[in-house]
Amino acid sequence: MVVTGMGAVTPIGNTVDEFWKNAVAGVSGAAPITLFDPEGHSVRFACEVKGFDPSELGDRKEVRKMDRFTQLGLKAALQAVSDSGLEIQGTFAERVGVVIGSGIGGIQTLEDQKTILLEKGPGRVSPFFVPMMIVNMATGMVSMRTGAKGPSNATVTACASGANAIGDAFRIIQYGDADVMIAGGAEAPVAPIAVAGFGNMKALSTRNENPAGASRPFDAERDGFVIGEGAGVVVLEELEHARKRGARIYCEMAGYGYTADAHHMTAPAPDGEGGARSMKAAMADAGVAPSEVQYVNAHGTSTPLNDKYETCAIKSAFGDAAKSVAISSTKSMTGHLLGAAGGVEFILMALAHVHGKIPPTTNHENPDPECDLDYVPNQARELPVHAALSNSLGFGGHNVTLATRSHEQ
């Protein structure tokens, strides 16, 4: 199975090319919040998408019926389909499916409509409130706009949602239920209630005076993640189908591992044992040994426990090869896009195959003795990538690993 199209709307670029260019350059997407007035919040910065114009998606009235997470997901999906060169029409449309994940869906819509309910009464709540808010609407709108009539689903596994969507799409094609899947994640959580909630649980960095330096995965002075928004969507295609139409191929989608910690609502399992099993399962599914993997795009949230235990997980999964694999957390630049993280990070992993270059972990200035692997600090690295993994770990103990291989034309 292969990747034939990609679309990205992120805090460091609203196209795949711009996203890649800024990622390898180490550009930060963190800045003071503009989507709402953060006065009174303990955290007043985030990684917002810049310059996004929803009117580009079509009729203004229709676009206004979509929450921002759906708008971002639709934009990324349309980019991916255009990039793939697919024409989804006729009976072929029944062989094209959609799976777009999101951790919390239309949370800004929920907040807005609850305010209207309290201030103006139930008669003023929008009749579009429910379809705007529900997580599956990104999938629904992508299906409607592209004409895809095949398997349709939405994954909700917190910060693993986008990765689960891509993995589930991979399985759907393997099962023979579709030839092509449009898959990824979308999230728009930079809303007052979400920022307050994550802030009050002490999950967010509080470096209000230095947003660009706040996300510092695997660094000894990390103090929490930077909340972000965006979408990353890819087109997965059965290999022979792609070859027959002469599609450009970025890389092979090779393996999928997913496990549960069965441990805690928010904290990872001790020593990252669930994440280790996820990586082992993905490598086994892909038929690659740890020594054959050149790159791991880490979950790397910049929180004390995640980075420590993900390091433990990589050591457990890779054994002696852990010291030689290149690892980076691109959340150091994008922030944490929650349910969209797996989608945008999968795109960077795919492009690492194409360009033979590893994006860096920025803000890595003070090595943590408990995080002692090769995190590609601060500068991108030229490195041929033949096999790679991307980790996504979510509240509730969800662990997902996606494996890719280079495609020999």
**Where in the sequence numbering do the catalytic residues fall?**
159, 299, 336
Longest Cα pair distance anywhere in the chain, in angstroms? Answer: 64
Query: From CA 386, how far away is CA 356, in angstroms rounded?
Result: 9
Place of tokens 């799976």: 99
Decide: helix, strand or coil at residue 295: strand
How far CA 195 is from CA of 10, 29, 117, 300, 362, in Å, comes to 18, 17, 21, 20, 23
- What are the respective helix, strand and coil percentages of the chain, to the nearest 5? 40, 20, 35
Gyration radius from the chain CA atoms: 20
C-alpha dihedral sign at 243, 248, 251, 254: negative
CA-to-CA separations, 62 to 1, 57, 164, 251, 365, in angstroms, rounded = 35, 9, 29, 35, 47
Beta carbons of 100 and 184 less than 8 angstroms apart: yes
What's the CA gap between 280 and 313, in Å, rounded? 10
In 26-128, which residue ranges form alpha helices assigned H by DSSP? 60-63, 68-84, 107-120
As a whole number of angstroms, the distance between CA 389 and CA 256 comes to 9
Task: Find out whether 318 and 280 touch, Cβ atoms under 8 Å.
Answer: no
CB atoms under 10 Å from CB of 8, counted, come to 32
DSSP designation for 8: E
The two beta strands, 251-260 and 2-9, are antiparallel
Instruction: Return the residue matching tokens 């799409």.
Output: 169
The first and second tokens of residue 237, run together, are: 């295609």
320 Cβ contact list (under 8 Å, min separation 6)? none
